Amino acid sequence: MKKTLKNIPLVYLLILVIFFSCSSDDDATVDPDDDGGITQPEPVEALNLAEYDNGSRVMMQAFYWDVEPRFEWWNTISDKLGTWSDAGVNRIWIPPASKGQSGGFSMGYDPSDYYDFGEYDQHGTIPTRFGTREDLENLISKAHENDIEVIADIVLNHNSGGGLEYNPYRKRETYTLFDETHGNASGIFNRNYEDFYPNSVNDYDPPSLFYQETNLDHHREHVQNWLWKDENSVAKYYKNVMGFDGWRFDYVLGFEDFVIKDWLEAVGGFSVSELWDGNPNVLRNHIEATGSGVFDFAAFYVMEQAFDRNHDLTGLTNDQVWQTNPEKAVTFTANHDTEKDGNEDNIIAPENKLKAYAFIMTHPGYPNVFYLDYENPEFQDQLNKLIRIHNSLATGSLEVIYADNDEYIMQRSGNAENPGLVLYINTSGNTKRRTITTSWDTRVLIDYSENSNYSPMVEENGEVTIEAPANSYAIWSITK
């Protein structure tokens, strides 16, 4: 029988016992072949992690920037759904699925016709960059057959690809005419300059990084009706006709919080907002105002700084959204934007990527796996192990046992039916060991990430000496 832990409340305690030291702490550095004077037990049997289902799963970002091959992406990821489901993925986030101004080259973030999923001949193509409407419908159907929800990427502020018309509020021609012959071949949600800022009832011209003149005014009744209120609105059509299960709201800095709140009240579903801000309080305020989850950019930058910029793992204890709102924090190590712009402050270095995944897979929050990371043959085996650990042993209250510039040790307490785990990250060039006090007693431990073959015995008082290989990590728990 599977030991199911759904609906068990978690109290996340950050009990920081931090010792500030440098990488020359010789007491922790060991020869990896040295048993440390501890008698190694006879071979032991690992837990069957399939028997410890804590109800948690992970999401897959099922694309990267400028995916190839063009016109075949929906079919490409359809073929992977069974494997992803078996690995422990329960949602996929796909790119904006409707026709953009760039036609067959568009990644969907220049939306023109919200209802053209690859069936109308406009912007130089019938299919979108990702394929035809039939391909998309097949993808969604196959995902549901594999118990995977499909999350639509929704771009709600900036439009692109309309026709020129004279705009009396800007006193010049603007590309604000969207109808059957001007970028909206579906003929649904036709719009003109009155639907964008400024207009006859709203002279406000809000700042926007994208397409200033085609920035939708969400206060306009016509816009609200077609985005989420009417029975044939974008929100209801995507949910009820296309079969999408939830929403990733793009660039939420470009519109007001009430838009997401009203959208979710109209159609519900899982949601996560792209609020690109490393301040955890800004992210928490958005959660409170909208009811939506957020990508935990605070956690992303904490990891980037700890592993890459500052080389100081005490930073992993800094304020992050998952600490207070674990059910609303989508944690991640990379996405299509962080991996394409080349900004060293917006990317976690490849050599530190798996350590970052070990962090998010063992801590509270809802981890998101980036497609290119999962499909990287150097990462995939370890990512599968981390997902399996996340979905089984990563439960219970959290205690940070030790942190310094190159070591970080954390325990999840588990519960009466689940032993929990201990994560040990080591960024130094040497294998390290630490004696810690755990909630276990007289049990043999093994590393379920399989990065270490050391198997120490816990003393009656809970003390045990664990290790982490050089520039790596280990995830410890009990054996049978």
- Catalytic (active-site) positions: 250, 274
Report how far residue 477's alpha carbon sits from residue 466's, in angstroms, rounded to the nearest whole number: 10
DSSP string for 246-311: EEEE--GGGS-HHHHHHHHHHH--EEEE------HHHHHHHHHHH--EEE-HHHHHHHHIIIIIS-
CA angle 176, 178, 183 (to 5 degrees): 115
Letter for the amino acid at 212?
Answer: Q
Environment class of 30 (CB within 10 Å of its CB; exposed 0-12, middle 13-18, buried 19+): middle
Q: What are phi and psi for residue 53, nearest 5 degrees?
A: -95, 110
Q: Residue 252 — left, alpha, or beta (φ > 0 → left; ψ -120 to 50 → alpha)?
A: alpha
Three-class secondary structure of residue 371 per DSSP: helix
Environment class of 311 (CB within 10 Å of its CB; exposed 0-12, middle 13-18, buried 19+): middle
Q: Residue 88 — left, alpha, or beta (φ > 0 → left; ψ -120 to 50 → alpha)?
A: left
Under a CB-based contact definition with an 8 Å cutoff, are residues 173 and 165 in contact? yes
User: Is there a binding annotation on residue 257?
Assistant: no
Under a CB-based contact definition with an 8 Å cutoff, are residues 309 and 345 in contact? yes
User: Is there a binding annotation on residue 26?
Assistant: no
Environment class of 327 (CB within 10 Å of its CB; exposed 0-12, middle 13-18, buried 19+): exposed
What are the counts of helices (DSSP H) followed by strands (DSSP E) for the chain?
12, 21
Letter for the amino acid at 215?
Answer: N
Residue 383 DSSP symbol? H
Q: Which residues are part of a known binding site for Ca(2+)?
A: 157, 406
